[in-house]
Amino acid sequence: MSAHNFTTDPSAQTTSPLVDQQELTYPTLDADVQVAWKCNLNYTIVVWVHQGTARVHFENEVIELHPGQALWIPQRTAHMVEHAADSLALAILIPARHNGPRIGELLRIEVPPGQTGWMFYLMLLTLSPLHRGQLPTARVVEHLTHFIVDAHQAQSASLPPAQHPALDRARRLLEQNPEATKTLSALATAVGTSERTLRRQITSEYSMTFRQFRESCLTSHSPAVHVGHWQPVPALSTRWMRFPQHRYALWAYQGRGSVNVMPPSADESQIHTQRLEAGELLVIPDGYSVRLDIDSGALFFPLSMQLDPSEQRTDLRLPIRLPADSEPELLRWAIAHITALRPPHFDRSDVFSLLEQAAHYPGLRWPQEPSLNIIARRLMSDTTGDSSLSDLAAEHGLSLRSLQRSWRAATGDTLAAWWSDYRLQRAEGMLRAGFSLASVARWVGYEHVPNFSRTFLASRGYRPGSVHQSTSFGQRNIY
């Protein structure tokens, strides 16, 4: 069976896990996922596989899904989902009042590799507390309809390989291209044998007529029919939201956007806006309201945990850039935070314990005093480091010494160290976007690459030459 077809196993035992144990790639999520049997009364569920395989158990069959495949499971359909720990699957929930294009049917969905961002986007729109309700459910259903192939039908097993070489070539030809040969004569010519020999071998090995043989080959062929042109994930602006019982962090998996935060009981004059780019993570101050303005093609994943009132953190931070090799593991954590397809004994706080091990977590502290705030924005716009700190201090009626003292009190860092760390983080973002080492060095104010490399190594803990362009998923940063 092709890796792009649904496979069923009517004889499988549906009361125990059937996924083979595999070597785990990401040890922090080291348990297989098995979602208990359920019968959805109030919603339709779409199960989609991004990586590995998943098996959806029904009362009389098991359907295996491969990367890019999904299954539309209508309400009132008893099922159980399982996948191995090194697979990645997600769910999209559709309220029962939106039944979809064919009420009560299992529907097959095939998502082309270049369009997988849509499934993450639709999952966020239906399940993420920061995204949910931002798009009418009818539009979510409309987007999913673009990827529906047809109604699922239990498939009979493929014909086994034939012993006669010409017959086996005929079997494979019909499975791969059923429209190429519709008659016995055409098939015999295509595989280089006579009609008489081919008919005799079909009867001898399969006990079938030619018509039965051809139909059996066709049942194992399930061509995907996709829309030829599809738009990228659209831009999205959310409403203001506040979650006083939880701590939130936002991870930009793809693309760019802005995160607006506002303290409790504040007005619009106190809104702080922070740009977030692919590979960066922003910790939201506890108790703050949040509104997202996400660019077209971008995907922002929320991570959350129950908030301990005795450990509130209300200081504003700049984003941190996460190591590229942590992306696959963090994607699993992000999906587990949002959908029910997660390992048993999953603890949301574990991901924050993991993030605390990242360099520079939770990010450079943002100075909230108005004059320091203005100076910080000036420094952020000057990536080459040409601004005179003495002149900046004088503009605000301060001596350089007084500015440095106030800055350290507000941020915990010296002014020079804060500015340098910010520029080097931006430099790493450009390196991951594919810019050359020499051009990035010049962009952050270094005429000589060796000087830039030494400073980068001291700050980031690794050499800039080891930073490679990110190609893990879809559209990345656009500078």
For the chain, list the domains and their CATH numbers: 7-151 (2.60.120), 165-219 (1.10.10), 236-355 (2.60.120), 370-466 (1.10.10.60)
Alpha-carbon distance of 344 to 352, in angstroms, equals 18
- d(CA 221, CA 200) in angstroms, rounded, equals 24
Q: Estimate to the nearest angstrom the gap between the alpha carbon of 111 and the chain centroid.
A: 14
pLDDT of residue 301: 93
User: What is the DSSP pairing of strand 43-51 with strand 88-95?
Assistant: antiparallel
Helix, strand, coil distribution of the chain in percent, nearest 5: 35, 20, 45
Position 391 scores a pLDDT of: 87
Q: Residue 188: which of 208, 157, 166, 218 has the closest Cα?
A: 166
The span from the CA of 100 to the CA of 174, in Å, is 33
**Per residue in 396-440, pLDDT tens?**
888 999 999 999 999 999 998 998 899 888 888 888 878 889 998
Kindly state the tokens that stand for 237: 């602006």
Name the pTM for this structure.
Answer: 0.73
Rounded percentage of the chain residues whose pLDDT exceeds 90:
17
Average pLDDT over all residues of the chain:
80
Distance between CA 401 and CA 369 in Å, rounded?
17
Helices 195-206 + 184-191 axis angle, to 10: 100
Check residue 180 and give its pLDDT.
62
If you average pLDDT over residues 42-70, what whole number do you get?
89
Mean pLDDT of 23-30: 38
Distance of alpha carbon 202 from alpha carbon 247, whole angstroms:
66
Inter-residue contact 109 to 149 (CB < 8 Å):
yes
Lowest-confidence region among 34-38, 287-291, 460-464:
34-38
Strand partners, 45: 73, 93
Confidence of residue 318 (pLDDT cuts 50, 70, 90): very high
Q: Which whole number is the average pLDDT over 123-143?
A: 86
pLDDT of 472 above 50? no
Mean pLDDT lowest for which of 74-83, 157-166, 209-218, 224-233? Answer: 224-233
Residue 31 has pLDDT above 60, yes or no: no
Give the three-state DSSP class for 367: coil
Structure-token pair, residue 174? 């019909």
Structure tokens at 197: 């020999």
Instruction: Locate 140 and state its tokens.
Output: 């979510």
